[in-house]
Each structure stands twice: as structure tokens, then as C-alpha cells.
Homo-oligomer: A and B are copies of this chain.
């Protein structure tokens, strides 16, 4: 199904009816409304103005549209900020941040939690029985604009309480953090500061606990909203729109309180921000890198425990990246089908109409500011039409699992140990490498069951908890562990038996040295798979087994112990291109290296093909395949869909 984000408060009432009719005409089913409207719903403290929203919902309902109502808490009004300036967050530099943008609140603020409870309860009560309102979105893009981590006095108190709950005794904290080092010892939880503006870098355990705390605070804040919505508007679904390439927050934890996950998909903006070779940057500037949207679909499907929406889908050029090119013709449709192929229940465009004022005036919509359709509208309409005549089969589990851990991102943000080590880049390299082989991938958080997968890839999992270890133990397929897996304890210490710590139960290895490499330096590793120049990271690993790859000095680079593999280096693109298909074949899969920008995704016996490249591509469909969309030869930016016989 398709949807759209709509802001009736930006347009004259007279326009609403026509807009709603046009939504229906385009084939849209859902409309997200209201998530930034607090100042218009409560223009003065305690004086509410629900009428306009009532009327807007009514207008949408008359056209048969279903409404997702956003709680307006991402934008407290100025009067609220002026009454309670302590709700404003404090940045890492110790500066109080200010009103005038959005997300200007601290998740720990007791006052803001009260105000939140008040407006959310009222909203829930008012629309609890509205037939068009089918669900709620809590707030909007938690954490955007670097807001997960706040350094205000309220956060300091809350952090101390969080530590006390975690450690009970301050001596436990002292042991966990290793405060014997540099005289960091605390005599009570009340002595612990927030980890910023320190003279030398803060203690990494201190930072990690603070990052966990900050993520927990967002979850608690969201839970407050969820509880009120469930209590006062029972029967409606609740979701939240997460962001791309964002790790300050643990979405798996937060989504436990939601009915399903949503995310906001801006492939061109994300691609602008990715570290890419110049040639790929040029090639995919107008399409997005071919795996950017897919990775997040797979991630947020996992976050949503199998269910997700794309709550915001890029409909044209955006306004917030360093450069904002126009999508290639066809890409709005292609992105939509990619989302549906990955199991999105709804793809909702952001936004119905480009707003001519304020911060986002240069962000395209399905319509121009004057109301005439922009290109995206036609592409959306075409998908709606296609979708209407297709009954998509349900998604089946993928043959490959990729284990992804937000906590790993925090660990490496805190101590990369080498400027080239970036967790998301490593994860994406593995994901993209698998997808270039035509393999479908399920993202799994650590600890999730892995029995069903022929191949499990763990790019790196520094903190390996018992439940994750058990899942790896029970995995029946091949499991590849990347570098630094098992290299830290729960408290950010080196394991007593050295890395890979608990993984030694599965792989009898002992990492006796690691190094990070400057860009000018590479180490050559060689073996039956080929010869590879590896940079960024290397380990020296003691183990019994004959390594599959060896460095020039004789130490192993890739180890195998039965079904388990350990990679003791940062993988280069050519190593991945050799290793992953070999592994897939060892796992009994049929990898299918795809040319250029071609990608596949299956739903049951249906296979989608997407051509992100500027050249025509041939779909690897069986001869007898029946094409439901497109054809065997895919022009640039085209979609094909076939059913296997």
C-alpha cells in the first residue's frame, strides 16, 4: 500500500478537499498527519484548537483515506520553552541549545515528560474513536540533529540513578570501569559526571554506559507515549519513524514497545554522506547506492519483528545533503518497489506537496508548491496502479543472516583504535557484498535465533553476550566472524583470556596483537582464495588450524574451524568478492554475481530485479519465468518482477 505525509496546517482549508481527492486519485491509502503541530493545537498554554485537525481528518476520511496521527512532541511551542527553559538540551560543548529548529528538548527532563504526557493523552483521547485514525506515530525521528545525547543537569542526575540501578554498589562500578587507572575512583554514584569536556579522553566504560543510558532514556520517553496511547486510544497501532545510517539509538530495544517499525528513506541524501570511491559516487548520485535502501529495509524489518513501513519516501530532490541532485527518472517508482519487495507494508511519500516556506522549502514533494503534480506523483500513481493488480506473496526468511549490533557502533565510536575503522562501513561492505551475489539477507540482532540460516555473517561483534554465543552455537549453517569479535567484555574491558573472549568456546583462537594501519600501508594475505592487499586493521592470531589465508609473515588472516570462520583483518573489496561467493557455495547456496547496478529480491516464488545502473541489464530469470512487471531486459532505473515456474 502507498501513503503520503500531509500538513493541512500549511495550507488554506479551502485547499484540503482537492488535496484529499488527488491523494485518492493517485491511489494512496494512508496519510500521516500532525507530527509537528503542537503550537497550532495548543496556541496558548491550556487553550486548545482541535477544530482544524478535526476538520482536516474529516476531509481525509471522506475520501476513504486512513490516517496515521503523529504526536507533536518533536516541536514544543515557544511558550512552553519560555516557561521551562530547562527542557532545552545541552550539547557536548556544554552549550544550552535553543528554540528555532526542532527536537529542542531533553529526554530526561521531568517537566518535559509531564508536558508530553499531557498533550499525548489529550490527543489520544480526542481521536481514540475516530474511524479514520488507524494508528499513531510517536514523535518524529528520535535522535535527529544529534539529540540522543544531552549534557544537562537533569541528564547527569538521571545517569547517576541509572548507574546505581545497574551497579548497586559503587565499587562494582569502580571495578567495571577500571577506575584504578588514572585515579578515577568514585566514592559514590553522586560523584559521577557526564563524560564530556574532560582534559584527556573519558574512560571508555564511562562513555559506553552513558551511550547506553542515553539510548535507554529515549526508549523510556517513547514508552511513556506508548503507554498513554494504548491506554487512551486502544486498538490503534503505534509506530515510530527511525532514520538511516543512525546508531546513537538502539532501535531493537525501542521497537519492543511498538507494533511495528517505520523508517525514512532518502537514498540520495544518504549516498551523499557515504564514504564512496569517486566513480561510485558519480555513478549512483541520482539513484542512491544500490544497497542503501535495501539494507535499511532489512534492518528495520528486523527491528519491527518482521513488520515495517517506509514512513517517508524521497519523492524528488531533498534539501539537507551537501548536494541535492534530482533522482533519475523512474527512481521514485524503483525505490517504492524495492521497499515492497523487502516487505514494506506501506510506502509513504514525504511529502504530498512542497512547502514554500521555512526550513524545508527546497525539499521536493509529490506536488509543486503551487499544487501542480511534480514527477514523483506520476511515478507513485504508476506503482499504485501496478500494485492494485498484483497480490504479493508473503516474504520468506532469507538464506543469509547478517548480525548487526548498535552497541558495536558505540564501542568503535568510543575506541576506533584506527581512524579508518567505522562499524557501519564494515557492515555495509558485507551486506553489499552479499547482495551483489543476488542473495537475500535477513538482519539479525545479536542473540536472535540463527538456526534457519545457511550462512551467518557477523561483521564484528565486540561484546559477545551469552545469548549471542548460544545463538552462534546453535547455528546450523556456516558462520563468519569478522575482526574484533569478542574483543571486549560487557564493561568495555579486554577479556581475561584475551580476544575473541567467549568466542573461544567455538573457535579456539587467541588474538595476541592487533594494529590499525594508515592509508599508505597494506598487508598482503594469500591463500587458495587469492592474494589480497589488506589495510585498516590486522590481527595476530594464535590457533591450531591451518589458516585459509596467510599474511606474508606467516600468521593467519582467515581461520576455519568446522562451520566457523574468523577473519583477522579488515576485508578489502576484492577479498569480499572472492570470499563471499566461496562461502555461499560452501553453505550450499547458489550465489549469482550480478553485473553493475543490478540487484534482486525475492518474495516467495516471485523475484524482483532492480537496475540502479545507467546501462541496460539482463534479469537472471529462468527461461520459463513469467514476467509480472517489466521484462528480461531492464533499461536503466527499471524494475522487473517474475514468477518462477
Q: Which residue of B lies closest to A10 (CB)?
A: B180
Interface flag for A78 (CB, 8 Å):
yes
Contact with B along A59-83 (1 / 0, CB 8 A): 0000000000000100111110010
Report Cα–Cα, A375/B186, bound state, in Å: 35
Instruction: In the complex, identify which listed stretch (A202-210, A472-480, A603-611) lies at the interface while the others stay far away.
Output: A202-210
Which of B196, B316, B372 touches A98 (beta carbons < 8 Å)? Answer: B196
Q: Contact partner of A203 among B184, B206, B319, B359, CB < 8 A?
A: B359
The count of identical subunits is 3
Q: Which B residues are in CB contact (< 8 Å) with A198?
A: 97-101, 104
Contact B359 A204 (CB under 8 A): yes
A502: Cβ under 8 A from any B Cβ: no
Is A21's beta carbon under 8 Å from chain B?
no
How many residues on the A side are at the interface (Cβ–Cβ under 8 A)? 112
Given A99-B198, A100-B206, A357-B177, decide whether A497 and B185 contact each other with a Cβ distance below 8 A: no
A251 at the interface (CB under 8 A from B): no
**A504 CB within 8 Å of chain B:** no
**Complex formed: what's the CA distance from A370 to B420 in Å?**
28
A180-198 interface code vs B (CB 8 A; 1 in, 0 out): 1111111100010101111
A388 at the interface (CB under 8 A from B): no
Query: Which residues of B lie under 8 Å from residue A201 when comparing CB positions?
Result: 101, 359
Say yes or no: A182 contacts B374, CB within 8 Å.
no
A201 to B540, CA, bound (A): 47
Q: Tell me whether A392 is interfacial, beta carbon within 8 Å.
A: no
- State whether B417 touches A187 (Cβ < 8 A): no
Q: Given A99-B198, A104-B199, A184-B100, A357 and B78 touching (CB < 8 A)?
A: no
Contact of A356 among B316, B356, B362, B496 (CB under 8 A): B496
When distances are taken between beta carbons in the complex, the residues of chain B under 8 Å from A191 are 78-79, 82
Contact check, A323 vs B145: say whether CB atoms are below 8 A apart.
no
Evaluate contact between B39 and A185: CB separation under 8 angstroms.
yes
Q: By the criterion CB–CB under 8 Å, are A360 and B418 in contact?
A: no
How far does the alpha carbon of A179 sit from the alpha carbon of B355 in the complex, in Å?
A: 12
B281 touches A182 (CB 8 A): no
Q: Which residues of B contact A355 (CB under 8 A)?
A: 178, 181
A364: chain B residues at CB < 8 Å are 513
Smallest CB-CB separation from A207: which chain B residue? B100
Contact B202 A101 (CB under 8 A): yes
A285 at the interface (CB under 8 A from B): yes
- The reply to whether the CB of A36 lies closer than 8 angstroms to some CB of chain B is yes
Residue with the highest number of chain B CB atoms closer than 10 Å, among A93, A182, A205, A272: A182
In the bound complex, CA of A280 to CA of B77 (Å): 52
Question: How many angstroms from the CA of A369 to the CA of B38 in the assembled complex?
Answer: 55
Within 8 A of B (CB), among A12-67: 36-40, 43-44
Give A483-526 as 1s and 0s: 1 = Cβ < 8 Å from B's Cβ atoms. 00000000111111110000000000000111111101100000
Question: Is A322's beta carbon under 8 Å from chain B?
Answer: yes
Q: When the two chains form their complex, are residues B204 and A95 in contact, meaning their CB atoms are under 8 A apart?
A: no
Is B43's CB under 8 angstroms from A185's CB?
yes
* B residues near A98, Cβ cutoff 8 Å: 193, 196-199
Q: Do A497 and B370 touch across chains, with their CB atoms under 8 A apart?
A: yes
Q: Would A9 and B357 be within 8 Å (CB), given that A374-B513, A497-B370, A516-B324 are in contact?
A: no
Tell me whether B184 and A285 are in contact (CB under 8 A): no
Complexed CA–CA distance, A82 and B95 (Å):
21
Find out whether the CB atom of A419 lies under 8 angstroms from the CB atom of B323.
Answer: yes
The answer to whether A101 and B199 touch across the interface, beta carbons within 8 angstroms, is yes
Residues of B within 8 A of A360 (CB): 181
Roughly how many angstroms separate A470 CA and B634 CA in the complex, as a whole number?
Answer: 52
A25 CA to B359 CA, complexed, in Å: 60
Chain B residue numbers with a CB within 8 Å of A521 are: 282, 285-286, 323, 325
Smallest beta-carbon distance A246→chain B, Å? 15
> Given the complex of chains A and B, what is the CA–CA distance between A209 and B73 in angstroms?
28
| A577 is an interface residue with CB less than 8 A from chain B | no
Bound CA span A414–B551, Å: 48
Chain B residue, CB-CB nearest to A78: B191
Q: Are B100 and A368 in contact (CB under 8 A)?
A: no
Residues of B within 8 A of A101 (CB): 182, 198-202
Cβ-closest chain B residue relative to A75: B183
A358–B181 CA distance with the chains assembled, in angstroms: 6
| B-chain residues with CB within 8 Å of residue A343 when the two chains form the complex | none
Asked if A326 and B44 make an inter-chain contact with CB atoms under 8 angstroms apart, the answer reads no
Asked if A420 meets B323 with Cβ closer than 8 Å, knowing A195-B100, A317-B515, the reply is yes
Given contacts A205-B358, A322-B419, 10 further A-B contacts (CB under 8 A): A75-B183, A79-B187, A98-B198, A99-B193, A101-B200, A178-B357, A204-B361, A278-B520, A317-B516, A326-B513
Q: Which 5 A-B pairs have the closest CB atoms?
A: A178-B357, A101-B200, A181-B358, A39-B183, A75-B183
Mind listing 10 A-B residue pairs with CB under 8 Å?
A7-B180, A75-B183, A79-B187, A82-B191, A93-B93, A101-B202, A181-B359, A205-B358, A282-B521, A322-B419
